[in-house]
């Protein structure tokens, strides 16, 4: 295989790779969508379904992308192109995804940063106001400033490189994130009525088992694990040939699952504490859950409201940062490999693109709010989120499965995996990549596109 002739970044150890990949996987979706889906689809019923999907479908695709990156030593475009120029289009499609996601992800990261600091500056009661969130995101100045602050933190970390920046940042943020998640969950469970909420969250309600539940769990798992956006190919290309890929990807899946579980264990019981049921979570997801419902719940926690609100949003900020760092690093690596530029020049180009696009997309809430690409009430952020997550990512994953399963054949990846560890499940993995995964990805694509246009409800 061809490899980059430029000096390439590398992880200092297997565990720093695992931590970085897990940090990439842990993001906003763990915090605001997983609890909503668990509350909606029968608690434990959803949890069991999700665990099964993570350690079958999810880990299989993680292994494919990581091994593919390590085998070629290149980011997505170069990795596919190394098997022939006619396959470069798969890499181009995959590589376009982080460039679309990163600007709007940084906008939402700016919202989280604002809320974390606002709890200290303004107190919990102010943030629970009916119009607080809307007034903030529609502002012509403040929302741009917080976006820029979040971007600056991300850019500074990536500027120090893989070992000097990303590894060191994750060594601080990931343990802190886990400890904060445990701390908030323990405090929430100590509140009157919270154990009833925990039982609702943990106990299976098999009457909720349905195709919608499976599709919801499938989509959440797919988007949560940083699949089909070039990140795991890039991170795999930095990994040495001695680190066990099978162990690594299993641990990455476990890390991501743990944070999602803890987020649900905090948010679902909190809804019971405040309102006596999980309906508040089951009826809200995304920004409305994070920035409207939860501040209202925290405000009802008395004297600890400000502390709990601050720690929670600091936890979410760390989750957002670990994902944005991986997105910016992937974009930088793609430009570096594709343009044959130095890392510094590629990084400057990435910063410029992300910042300018961020300004444009953020203006969709104020100066450019008249642009409503998905219909009345939609924004440019909604459009780019739909195009990248619901359309491009499933298509990229489908093409990748077809490429590995039927064109270069699974043996190419299996041989790479076996360089560093036995691969006892190679036959099951082959079946998953050739037959099962393509079908599941098509289900995700059809279901989420249909949901966007009101044909299907999840």
The Cα-based distances of 291 to 106, 130, 450 in angstroms read 16, 10, 27
Report the chain's terminal Cα–Cα distance, integer Å.
43
CA dihedral 162, 164, 170, 171 (to 10 degrees): 130
DSSP reduced 3-state for 95? helix
List beta partners, residue 43. Answer: 204
Is residue 225 a contact partner of residue 256, using CB atoms and an 8 Å limit?
yes
160-187 per-residue burial string, b: 16 or more CB within 10 A, e: under 16: eebeebbbebbeebbeebbebbebbbeb
pTM, full prediction: 0.95
Q: Which residues contact 439 (CB under 8 A, 6 or more apart)?
A: none
Three-state SS across 50-62?
HHHHHHHHHHHHH
**Axis crossing angle, helix 393-402 with helix 437-452, rounded to the nearest 10:** 160
Sequential pLDDT tens for the chain (458 residues): 444 445 688 999 999 999 999 999 999 999 989 999 999 999 999 999 999 999 999 999 999 999 999 999 999 999 999 999 999 999 999 999 999 999 999 999 999 999 999 999 999 999 998 899 999 999 999 999 999 999 999 999 999 999 999 999 999 999 999 999 999 999 999 988 899 999 999 999 999 999 999 999 999 999 999 999 999 999 999 999 999 999 999 999 999 999 999 999 999 998 877 777 777 678 777 788 899 989 998 998 888 999 999 999 999 999 999 999 999 999 999 999 999 999 999 999 999 999 999 999 999 999 999 999 999 999 999 999 999 999 999 999 999 999 999 999 999 999 999 999 999 999 999 999 999 999 999 999 999 999 998 887 77
For the chain, the structural domain boundaries read 14-452
The CA-based angle 185-186-192, given to 5 degrees, is 100
CATH code for residues 14-452 = 1.10.4160.10
* Cα 335 to Cα 420: distance, rounded to the nearest angstrom: 29
């Amino acid at each position: 295989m061809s490899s980059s002739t430029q000096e390439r970044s590398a992880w200092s150890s297997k565990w720093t790779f695992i931590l970085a990949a897990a940090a990439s996987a842990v993001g906003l979706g763990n915090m605001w969508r997983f609890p909503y889906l668990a509350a909606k689809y029968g608690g434990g019923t959803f949890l069991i379904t999700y665990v099964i999907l993570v350690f079958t479908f999810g880990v299989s695709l993680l292994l494919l992308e990581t091994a593919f990156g390590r085998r070629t030593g290149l980011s997505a475009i170069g990795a596919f192109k190394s098997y022939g120029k006619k396959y470069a289009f798969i890499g181009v499609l995959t590589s376009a995804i982080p460039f679309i996601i990163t600007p709007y992800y940084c906008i939402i990261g700016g919202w989280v940063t604002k809320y974390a600091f606002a709890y200290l500056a303004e107190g919990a009661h102010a943030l629970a106001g009916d119009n607080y969130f809307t007034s903030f995101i529609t502002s012509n100045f403040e929302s741009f400033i917080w976006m820029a602050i979040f971007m600056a933190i991300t850019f500074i970390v990536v500027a120090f490189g893989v070992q000097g920046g990303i590894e060191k940042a994750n060594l601080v943020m990931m343990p802190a994130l886990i400890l904060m998640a445990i701390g908030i969950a323990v405090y929430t469970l100590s509140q009157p009525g919270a154990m009833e909420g925990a039982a609702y969250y943990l106990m299976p309600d098999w009457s909720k088992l349905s195709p919608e539940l499976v599709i919801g769990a499938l989509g959440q798992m797919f988007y949560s694990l940083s699949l089909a956006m070039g990140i795991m190919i890039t991170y795999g290309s930095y990994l040495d040939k001695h680190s066990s890929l099978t162990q690594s990807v299993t641990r990455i899946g476990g890390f991501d699952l743990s944070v999602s579980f803890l987020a649900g264990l905090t948010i679902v019981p909190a809804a019971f504490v405040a309102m006596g049921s999980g309906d508040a979570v089951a009826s809200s997801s995304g920004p409305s859950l994070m920035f409207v419902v939860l501040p209202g719940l925290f405000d009802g926690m008395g004297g600890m409201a400000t502390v709990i609100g601050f720690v929670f949003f600091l936890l979410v900020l760390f989750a957002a940062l670990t994902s944005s760092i991986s997105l910016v690093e992937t974009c930088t690596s793609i430009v570096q490999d594709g343009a044959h530029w130095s890392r510094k020049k590629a990084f400057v180009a990435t910063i410029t693109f992300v910042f300018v696009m961020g300004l444009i997309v953020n203006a969709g809430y104020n100066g450019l709010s008249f642009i409503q690409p998905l219909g009345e009430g939609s924004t440019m952020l909604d459009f780019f989120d739909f195009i990248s997550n619901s359309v491009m990512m499933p298509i990229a994953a489908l093409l990748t499965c077809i490429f590995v399963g039927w064109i270069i054949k699974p043996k190419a990846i299996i041989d790479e995996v076996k360089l560093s560890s036995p691969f006892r499940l190679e036959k099951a993995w082959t079946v998953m990549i050739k037959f099962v995964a393509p079908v599941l990805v098509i289900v995700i694509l059809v279901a989420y596109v249909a949901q966007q246009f009101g044909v299907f409800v999840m």
